[in-house]
Structures are given as structure tokens and as C-alpha cells.
């Protein structure tokens, strides 16, 4: 089939207005959020439902075209960017229905934004706890395909742990209906786990059954100045010991990251004086309104202050103030984008090793690249840090960017030495394809290739990504 015949056949499936070939209209879908990847595609096609997704996949198989799934295009590893004239970008944005909601589950289509899923849960008096800064744009299909984490993993787990069932269109166009709402099902391999985190390389997720939780009735949000990352981890231990599973989020924010927000994000104000080197934003919540949560947090902070672990702390006095605290954390990626390039890392090490890892990694980088500054922030309760070096001066920063490979090697070799992960939550995409081969064992890489070969023998789905 010639390319124009394939485009016409796709239009016959989804309707002419849902196939885009015009370069200007395609452009936003062909660049990633960080502007690092600029791709090419035969066209963008936007099916309306699972049957149309399946028909598009079958047509692409017959026409020997590749398929690149895209949700909100907020991914940070270039996974959703197609890279050739034989690639069809399949947008899930029209699969937008909330199919069902029960007391403890919600069944949604892949193109719903994360915010829409949260809102549907809220309207039913429930909580869907996955939460990240891109939630207004990111799709639930993309969240599952990247096994997204975010700020509440500490308490509720990442996307994988929040998913009970999936509906997936396979590489040959068949539909696997795994939309089960079961918390127990030991009838063989747990197939949904293969597709979660596979970044569109094994199947196209069209719908999911997700877990719901009781909505929070009380919430305490605190901004805390700590002397160093070890003190932050010690504070987390105290909070967990005293307030138990009610610790919902616990974010570490380094001075450089906070300074970028204060410089670039309008109306941002630091909650505490003294310009501490490290701050913690933590949130505790309870589904009861009589939980004595505030008293518990105040007591923990007073004890930590007395023991010198905490330098200063303030509790948000209103929902607006809590939102202002969160804005400081959630606009860090945007502030970095405005500031200019930095070398991005999304790493995890065991929580107990964070302080030692940071001390060694900071020292090794400073020795190799004097004057370097590191925007370090992230989900310290999960051992996950975003660790992004740059040089303050433009020319020096350009030189550093040219040496990104050497920076990665220092950081990733140390992450590996600490038994960590070189991609805690953003995934592999195009960005870290070579890196995973370096750090995973040959057995693990071989197992990944065997799975890919079994589910997508023609390498039709998202070629050039992950494996």
C-alpha cells in the first residue's frame, strides 16, 4: 500500500477530520515537552474508541507501517515522539469516557487526563491518588504506559500499584480484555504488568480499572527547613513512627531548585526565612476529620527542632497557603525550563543511602566540573531524586552540555554502585536506551527482548524505544 493510500484507508476508519498530515498541525505532536526530540510521522490518527484503535493497528500491519502511541505528550524521555515517514502517530485523546465507577474502582478510557480521573473520583466522594505536576495534560494511558510515580507514591504506590485491570490492543490488532476489578486473581501470569511501564512498545492501552480510596477529610501541609538530606530522612522516619501511614507526601527541595522557582515563577515566595540549604514539603492526610493530625505533626516537628534535625518549620494555615507551598515544588520543572539547559537525571537509590549517595556524587561532580550547581529535588520518601547539574554562566553551561556524557557517567556509575535505578519514574524512551544496556545484566536485557519479540514480532509498536 502506498503512503497516500494508507492515509486514505486510515481516514476511512476514523473519519477524515481525525487524520492530520499537515506539518504545521502535526508540529506540536512531533516535539517533546523539553524540546529535546523533533520527530517525523506519516500522519497523526485519532481513533474514537477501542474498535477503531484495533482497526488502525490492523491497517498499519497490512500497510507495513509502525505505530507510536501518544497521550498528553508530557513524557520526559522522547517515548511518544515518532521518528520516520513510515510511522503513524496514534493519539488516544478521543478515548475519553469514564466507563464505570463503583465504591472502590473506576474504569476509564486511556485518553482521559489524570486530572479528569481525579475529578471523576472526587465527584463520587472518593480519591484517586496518582498526582504529578503534568496531571492537567498527561493521560491516564500515558501514566500507565510509563508507570508514573509522582508525589503520593509514598502512601499509595505508583501507577502500577493503582491498576487492577487493563484493556489493550495488541500489535496484531486483537483486543485483550483484561478489565478485571479483582484484588485477587492467581490464574497464571499477571499480564497487565507487562503493559504497565512498557512505554507503548508492547501494546496500546485503551482502558483501565483503577483503585479508589476514601477521600481525605483532614490534611496538614508543612514546609520545613532541614540542615541536610540525612536530617530529611530522619524527619520522615519520625513522622512515620508517630503519624503512621498518614504521611502522604514527603518532598525534598534543594537550594538551587528553590532559587530557580523564586527567580522565574511569578508570585512565588519562600515560606521560611534564612535561606536553608534544604527544605522539605510534607503532607499528611486522614479520611477522618477527628484525627488529631495537626497536633501529631506539631509534636514531631517540635521534637525534631529540639534535637537539631529541623531548623525551622511552618504549617499551612489555609488551603490557599498549602497550594502555594505545592506550587513552589511543582513549578521546579518549569523554572528549570525557563532558566535553560541542565543535565537531567531521574534516579533512585535506597532511602537509607540517599545522604551518602548525594555526598559522594556532589563531590565527584564538583571535582570534575568546578563551579557546577545542582538542582536537586524529588520524592525522597521513595528514594527518588531529580538531580540536574548545570553551570550558572552561559558559556560554561554550553561546555557542560557538550560534556553531558561524562556527567552521566559519574552520576549513573554511582547510582549503580548504590544499587539504584537510572530511571526511577520517567522511563527509558529514546533517552536512556543505551544506558539501560550498560547497567542491566545481559540476562535482564535478554528477557526484555524475548518479551518484546513475543508480543510484537514485527517491531511495529513504538520502534526505537526502550529495547
- Residue ranges in contact with ligand FAD by CB under 6 A: 33, 68-76, 79-80, 92, 110, 132-134, 138-139, 141-143, 145-146, 148-150, 199-200, 204-205, 333, 425-426, 429, 462, 465
For residue 87, the minimal CB distance to ligand FAD (Å) is 11
Nearer to ligand FAD, 160 or 416 (CB): 160
For residue 135, the minimal CB distance to ligand FAD (Å) is 8
For residue 326, the minimal CB distance to ligand FAD (Å) is 12
What letter would DSSP give residue 419?
T
Nearer to ligand FAD, 139 or 391 (CB): 139
Do residues 82 and 104 lie in contact, with contact meaning Cβ atoms separated by under 8 Å? no
Q: Please enumerate in sequence order all residues whose Cβ is within 8 A of that of 313, keeping only pairs 6 or more positions apart, or say none.
A: 222, 223, 224, 225, 272, 301, 305
Strand intervals (E) in 270-383: 278-286, 310-315, 346-348, 373-379
Nearer to ligand FAD, 68 or 376 (CB): 68
For residue 306, the minimal CB distance to ligand FAD (Å) is 33
For residue 158, the minimal CB distance to ligand FAD (Å) is 7
Quickly list DSSP for 244-265. Answer: GGGEEEEEEEEHHHHHHHHHHS
From residue 6, alpha-carbon distances to 65, 67, 73, 399 in Å are 9, 13, 24, 45
Nearer to ligand FAD, 166 or 311 (CB): 166
Nearer to ligand FAD, 286 or 425 (CB): 425
For residue 290, the minimal CB distance to ligand FAD (Å) is 32
Q: Which three cell numbers stand for residue 298?
A: 506539631
The residue at minimum Cβ distance from ligand FAD is: 142
The CA-based angle 347-353-359, given to 5 degrees, is 80
User: Nearest Cα to 111, choosing from 99, 128, 123?
Assistant: 99
Nearer to ligand FAD, 66 or 373 (CB): 66
For residue 30, the minimal CB distance to ligand FAD (Å) is 12
The CA-based angle 428-432-436, given to 5 degrees, is 90
Nearer to ligand FAD, 207 or 407 (CB): 207
Rounded Cα distance, 408 and 239, in Å: 34
Amino acid at each position: 500500500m502506498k503512503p497516500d493510500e494508507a492515509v486514505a484507508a486510515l481516514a476511512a476508519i476514523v473519519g477524515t477530520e481525525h487524520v492530520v498530515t499537515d506539518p504545521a498541525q502535526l508540529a506540536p505532536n512531533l516535539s517533546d515537552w523539553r524540546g529535546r526530540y523533533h520527530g517525523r510521522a506519516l500522519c497523526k490518527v485519532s481513533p474514537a474508541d477501542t474498535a477503531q484503535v484495533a482497526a488502525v493497528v490492523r491497517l498499519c500491519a497490512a500497510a507495513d507501517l509502525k505505530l507510536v502511541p501518544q497521550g498528553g505528550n508530557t513524557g520526559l524521555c522522547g517515548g511518544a515522539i515518532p521518528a520516520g515517514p513510515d510511522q503513524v502517530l496514534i493519539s488516544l485523546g478521543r478515548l475519553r469516557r469514564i466507563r464505570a465507577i463503583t465504591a472502590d474502582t473506576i474504569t476509564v478510557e486511556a485518553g482521559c487526563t489524570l486530572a479528569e480521573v481525579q475529578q471523576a473520583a472526587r465527584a463520587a466522594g472518593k480519591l484517586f491518588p496518582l498526582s504529578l505536576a503534568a496531571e492537567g495534560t498527561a493521560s491516564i494511558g500515558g501514566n500507565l504506559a510509563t508507570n508514573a510515580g509522582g508525589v503520593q507514591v509514598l502512601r499509595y504506590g505508583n501507577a502500577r500499584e493503582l491498576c487492577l485491570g487493563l484493556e489493550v490492543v495488541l500489535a496484531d490488532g486483537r483486543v485483550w480484555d483484561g478489565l478485571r476489578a479483582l484484588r485477587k486473581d492467581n490464574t497464571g501470569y499477571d499480564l497487565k504488568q507487562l503493559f504497565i511501564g512498557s512505554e507503548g512498545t508492547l501494546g496500546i492501552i485503551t482502558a483501565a480499572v483503577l483503585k479508589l480510596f476514601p477521600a481525605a477529610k483532614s490534611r496538614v501541609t508543612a514546609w520545613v527547613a532541614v540542615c541536610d538530606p540525612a536530617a530529611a530522612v530522619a524527619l520522615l522516619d519520625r513522622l512515620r513512627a508517630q503519624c503512621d501511614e498518614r504521611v502522604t507526601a514527603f518532598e525534598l527541595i534543594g537550594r538551587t531548585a528553590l532559587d530557580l522557582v523564586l527567580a522565574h515563577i511569578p508570585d512565588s515566595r519562600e515560606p521560611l526565612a534564612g535561606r536553608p540549604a534544604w527544605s522539605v514539603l510534607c503532607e499528611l492526610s486522614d479520611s477522618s476529620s477527628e484525627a488529631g493530625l495537626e497536633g501529631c505533626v506539631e509534636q514531631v516537628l517540635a521534637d525534631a527542632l529540639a534535637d537539631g534535625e529541623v531548623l525551622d518549620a511552618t504549617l499551612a494555615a489555609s488551603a490557599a497557603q498549602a497550594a502555594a507551598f505545592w506550587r513552589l515544588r511543582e513549578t521546579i520543572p518549569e523554572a528549570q525550563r525557563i532558566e535553560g539547559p541542565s543535565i537531567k537525571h531521574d534516579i533512585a537509590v535506597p532511602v537509607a543511602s540517599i545522604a551518602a549517595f548525594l555526598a559522594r556524587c556532589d563531590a565527584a561532580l564538583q571535582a570534575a566540573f568546578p563551579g557546577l550547581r545542582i538542582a536537586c529535588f524529588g520524592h525522597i520518601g521513595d528514594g527518588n531524586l531529580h538531580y540536574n547539574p548545570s553551570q550558572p554562566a552561559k558559556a560554561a553551561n554550553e561546555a557542560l552540555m557538550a560534556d553531558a556524557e561524562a556527567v552521566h557517567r559519574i552520576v549513573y556509575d554511582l547510582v549503580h554502585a548504590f544499587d539504584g535505578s537510572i530511571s526511577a519514574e520517567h522511563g527509558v524512551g529514546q533517552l536512556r536506551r543505551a544506558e539501560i544496556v550498560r547497567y542491566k545484566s545481559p540476562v535482564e536485557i535478554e528477557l526484555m527482548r524475548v518479551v518484546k519479540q513475543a508480543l510484537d514480532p514485527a517491531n511495529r509498536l513504538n520502534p526505537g524505544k526502550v529495547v
